[in-house]
Chains A and B, each alone.
Chain A
Amino acid sequence: MVRFLLSRLLRAAVTIVLVVTFAFVVLRLSGDPAQIIMGADAPPEAVDAFRTAWGLDQPVWVQYFHYFGAIASGDLGRSMRDGREAIVLVAERIPATLALTVPALLIKLLLGIPAGIYAALHRNSAVDRALMVAAVAGFTVPSFVLGLLLVLVFAVQLGWLPSGGQESWRHAILPVATLGIGGAAVLARFTRSAMLEVLGQPYIRTASAKGLTWRAVVWSHALPNAAIPTVTIVGFMVGSLIAGAVVVESVFSWPGVGRLMVVAVANRDLAVVQCILLLVAATMVVANLTVDVLYGVLDPRLRTGIRRAGAG
């Protein structure tokens, strides 16, 4: 187990380094931050001074090593716009994002998983078909379309809810719904197919042949097995708690990490963008690690995994 965790941690570290490197390279290739931040009309001396101040005049690989050296010592840099520490800027926004993504995650889990299980157990029933049509609609419609649709109906037409901003809990309802409905649809479809796969397995027939009630067969034999693949996608959803709201925050003018990211990219505010990407990569990696450990808990075959030789 220790070996397993160590190898996973190593892999996680490599992932983070790759993500940060990728972001570094792409951002440096996509235009001159000094020019963008100072504006097109700025005098060349001012732009040059800005470059020198932020080390942008040095070769890219020197910048890269400086950057990594700083990260290693815990310094994630400062915003080029207002000079504040990037980590502080980002941290300020995290609660706002979590205020959307955590309730949305709860909706996904509490709506998506039961709906998927119900649909699988009542396969081809009217409810199953209706749920699956809804699920397909839910994940084929992009979140900005769904968000705008909800705004049109509930804010513009009915006037029940505000269309944007962060003044009260009522402002959160539409963005949370937008996030939650799409995710619940994905989860419902996934859970349904995982359940159907398990329900077709011979051990389900064995459990019935043993005399268990159908309810007991589902609860103690089907669900624990269907949980194994479902954990992957739930882990992915947990991993995107920070980064999963970029579009929705923009649509609803919600001042979270996602909006900060959009603004920072537009401004080539390198330190801020890199800081967010690092954070996103770290949450993803932690979520994946948790999924791997959960696999081991849920599936005894992975724990001991002594496979008999099968060479015929």
Chain B
Amino acid sequence: MSGLVAITGLTVAFSGQPALRGVDLAVGRGEAVGLVGESGCGKSVTWLAALGLLPSRAEIGGSVRLEGEELIGAPPARLERVRGGRIAMIFQDPASSLNPVHRVGRQIAEALSLHRGLEGASARAEARRLLDLVGIPDASRRLDAYPHEFSGGQNQRVMIAMALAGRPELLVADEPTTALDVTIQAQILDLLHSLRREFGMALVLISHDLGVVSETCERVAVMYAGRIVEEAPTERIFADPRHPYTRGLLGALPPLAGPKRRLASIPGGVPEPWAMPPGCAFAPRCAAHRPECDRAAPHPLPVAPGHRAACLRATEPAAAEPVPA
């Protein structure tokens, strides 16, 4: 798998307070990578920073390369070609992510004009084809509808159609199903899966839900407090999680079978950006905490091929952890 996007040492701070504290992540061509973590861990900020979508007061450092081409600090014109062209992004709340005063056909056509040079009737025909593709019934009529005339799930389909307009090599989906109902979530995940198979497009799925990510992605990266703490092929992250935070997340999920047990909850809460612990950011909540954890932030240690964990004890074999069914 050849590299498409390589993020190295990416940092972001807002008025001096760190949001990302050095993120390294690579996405191969056609690969599906899940980015998991709780609110404020930096999973969305990573990709907003990569695409230059953060407000100008954000202080950004490090590097994001798209097939060797540096995106951080790139001139606006070059970023605009990448955005919606080679890398498209969809967001959590589809209803408010579409402009309420424009017809959806026009919003899709805009992307077609920017990245494919299509105008007028040919743009409209292509927009209709895209709506068809994402499963909007009666597409030619619905082109003239406004976002408020669609349901939440349909709006997310429209967002996906718009994202596909530029024939992206990578689709970044930021919590695409969080605002949707369970059965609609299943529809959207299914759609993303089949589109990826059809177009060989890479996918980054940002989610707080390990379950959602595991079904869609080949590789999972777990983020905590602005860093990736563990990264592994999907099967491994569930079968043999090495970072205590990953184990905590898995243990916090109520099982669907077996005897009811008390949930293994992680005590406390995420540290605030202005009160980051000196060493490992997870140390204050960690059951396996040792004095050396407080000395410096641990580097990711290789555990197995493609499996790294940023924990001093990552290479110690895990005790048998109950993985929820």
Contacts and interface: CB of A to CB of B under 8 A. Distances in A.
Q: A and B: direct contact (Cβ < 8 Å)?
A: yes
Give the size category of B's interface with A: 20 to 34
Contacts of B151: 308
Contact of B98 (A206, A299, A308): A206
B53 A208 contact: yes
Nearest to A124: B57
A213 B79 CA distance: 10
A210 B106 CA distance: 13
Contacts of B82: 211
Contacts of A214: 76
A145 to B, nearest CB: 38
Interface string B68-88: 000000001000111111001
Contacts of A211: 80-85, 111, 114-115, 166
Interface stretch (A19-27, A182-190, A197-205): A197-205
A304 B159 CA distance: 21
Nearest to B98: A203
Contacts, number: 85
A282 interface: no
Interface of A: 201-203, 205-214, 220-221, 224-225, 228, 298-301, 304-308
Nearest to B82: A211
B238 interface: no
B14 interface: no
A249 B24 CA distance: 69
A211 to B, nearest CB: 4
Could you tell me the dominant secondary structure of chain B's interface residues? mixed
Could you tell me the dominant secondary structure of chain A's interface residues? helix
Contacts of A213: 76, 80
B100 interface: yes
Given A209-B88, A213-B76, A304 B146 contact: yes
B315 interface: no
Contacts of A210: 83-84, 88, 110-111, 114, 162, 166
B51 interface: yes
A305 B148 CA distance: 8
Interface stretch (B89-97, B133-141, B247-255, B284-292): B89-97
B71 to A, nearest CB: 13
B99 interface: yes
Nearest to A205: B53
A203 B100 contact: yes
22 contacts: A202-B91, A203-B97, A203-B100, A205-B97, A208-B53, A209-B88, A209-B89, A210-B114, A210-B162, A210-B166, A211-B81, A211-B85, A213-B80, A221-B99, A225-B100, A225-B101, A298-B101, A300-B100, A300-B101, A300-B146, A301-B146, A304-B149
